[in-house]
Structure 1
Amino acid sequence: MIEVAAAIIENGQGQILIARRKQGKSQAGMWEFPGGKIEVGETTEDCLRRELLEEMNIGINPYAYFGVNDHHYGSTHIRLIAYKATFMSGEIELVDHDEYRWINIAELKEFTFAPADIPFVEMLEEGE
């Protein structure tokens, strides 16, 4: 099983950040909450700070556990751990994605999300 962290990042306008996986990556063309693999000895929060700096060149503050989803992509089992986070600083530069958007929760249904992220989309929509 691979442990992966995902950040539900909010900006000052109450929007959340989503990003589309670029071609050549698994789940290419699908949208997700950005994050990445948790390294040995790393907390989920530290992973998210590191991954968002590496993948998007932004600083975030993970502040609250949001949920966990175990998902199987064929023979690959991932445990996706989501945290709510606040956007702190930086200009977004994409590495593993080819597009990003700041959207309102009501707009989530307009995007095709990676299967592991869908439970978090549903939780956000229910809490709206």
Structure 2
Amino acid sequence: MLTQRKSSGFLGGLWEFPGGKRHAEESCHDACLRHIKEQLQLTIIVQKHVTQIKHAYTHFKQKMDALLCEYESGTIDLNGPVDYKWIEWNDINQFALPKSNLKFLKKCAESIG
């Protein structure tokens, strides 16, 4: 699944893997569950941690974790993203993604098989 950012603001209009910032006391697993629930109203199952990447933008650096997840329940109701798409892995190159998300692609492809 990809979600689309609002057209205004940082990285406006780009598509990305859903997620967000982790609170200091949260594991990446718990942060993933929370963000998917908050942004999409979905309950998911985290299957495994795929990789962690570091990326530097001009004014900040980020460390991001990619987790392979499975849909469990819920109906999508967007809170933050302006759109979403369930996509086939082979179609991912049709979407404009932030450079940080592009770093995940090889590891994610290996994980999916």
Same fold per superposition (TM over 0.5) = yes
Given the alignment of the two structures, is residue 31 of structure 1 paired with residue 25 of structure 2, yes or no? no
Matches within 5 A, 1:20-99: 20-99=4-83
For structure 2, the 5+ residue unaligned runs are none
Deviations 1:65-110 (A, max 9, x none): 1111111121210001111011111111112211110111110111
1:113 maps onto 2:84 in alignment: no
RMSD: 1.4
**Taking every aligned residue pair, what percent have the same amino acid on both sides?**
25
1:5-46 Cα deviation digits (max 9, x unpaired): xxxxxxxxxxxx111111234211111110010101111111
User: Contact 2:50–2:107 (CA<8 Å) still a contact in 1?
Assistant: no
Higher-strand-fraction structure: 1
Distance in 1, Cα, partners of 2:82 & 2:89:
21
Q: Give the superposition deviation at 1:115.
A: 1.0
Measure the CA separation in 1 of the matches of 2:27 and 2:108: 23
Aligned residue identity for 1:66: V
Length, aligned pairs only: 112
Give 1:101's aligned residue: 85
Unaligned runs of 5+ in 1: 1-16
Q: So what's the TM-score if we normalise by structure 1?
A: 0.81
Shift of the 125–85 alpha-carbon distance from structure 1 to 2, 3 Å rule, reads: closer
Contact persistence 2:42–2:73 (CA under 8 A): yes
Question: Secondary structure of the residue that 1:35 maps to in structure 2?
Answer: coil
Question: TM-score, normalising length from structure 2?
Answer: 0.91
